[in-house]
Amino acid sequence: MTICRVDSLSKHYTMGETVKPLDNVSFSLEAGDFVAIEGPSGIGKSTLLYTIAGLLEPSEGRIYLFEKDTARLSEKEKTRMRAEKIGFVFQEAILFQALTVKENLFFPQKFNKKKDPAQIAYLLDKFGLTDRINFLPYQLSVGQRRRLVIARALLNEPMLLLADEPTNDLNEAWIEIIMESLADVSKKGGAVIMVTHNAQLAMQAGKRYYLQEGKLAAIN
């Protein structure tokens, strides 16, 4: 199954001058794919992930998720698809500051009936947060916050994981665990897009792309 197909996607921002981070980009991900996207800072990598997730509208082109044209889905259908099938790791580890670790982890579950205590316990343990469940984000280390947003993105067992620099702020031992967790999503028949500045990590993905001047080029 084609999990994500980006067809002739362009995205422009107009803030006085027009910035065109994505210019006629096409690529697709099949079940089992693990893709890495590299590229200079400020080039449009986060923009690409946001647009795929439906958090930004394309300026031109189409995005198909799970073989559905997202332009034909209502906001409600898109929200539901995100909650049930997509995991998003924001580059800036966005958390609700007034909610505890546990509440932050559960937050997306508000939109999803599925709640599996065994999966929750497994993720808390795997990401070293079991003894921090009642802490607020400001009481966590930067790396713990990063691990929490990754655990949250994995909680629903997403079919599509969009991870923006997921290994930031982490040491090697944790990076290995995160990379394994990402690879697991693709091994179970999902697909993963990881944005990274780290070429060593990108090499662990099955396919590598480089984004520059609006164009996405495959790296062999």
Ligand X SMILES: Nc1ncnc2c1ncn2[C@@H]1O[C@H](COP(=O)(O)OP(=O)(O)OP(=O)(O)O)[C@@H](O)[C@H]1O
The correct pick among 4, 6, 23, 44 for binding ligand X (CB under 6 A) is 44
Closest by CA to 35, choosing from 52, 10, 23, is 52
- Residue 204 interacting entry, from Mg ion, ligand X, none, C-beta within 5 to 8 Å by type: none
13 binds ligand X (CB under 6 A): yes
Residue 27 CB, nearest distance to ligand X (Å)? 16
4: nearest Cα among 22, 31, 25 = 31
Contact string 53-92 vs ligand X (x = CB under 6 A)? --------------------------------------x-
* Shorter beta-carbon distance to ligand X: residue 45 or 132: 45
| Nearest-angstrom CA–CA distance, 191 and 159 | 6
**Residue 51 makes contact with Mg ion by CB under 5 A:** no
Quote the least distance from Cβ 42 to Mg ion, whole Å: 8
Number of residues lying near Mg ion (CB under 5 A): 3
Q: How far is the CB of 95 from Mg ion (least distance, A)?
A: 18
- Match 């993720």 to its residue by tokens: 123
The full DSSP string for 52-104 is HTTSS--SEEEEEETTEEGGGS-HHHHHHHHHHHEEEE-TT----TTS-HHHH
Residue 45 and residue 48: Cα distance in Å, rounded? 5
Q: What is the contact surface with Mg ion in residues (CB under 5 A)?
A: 45-46, 91
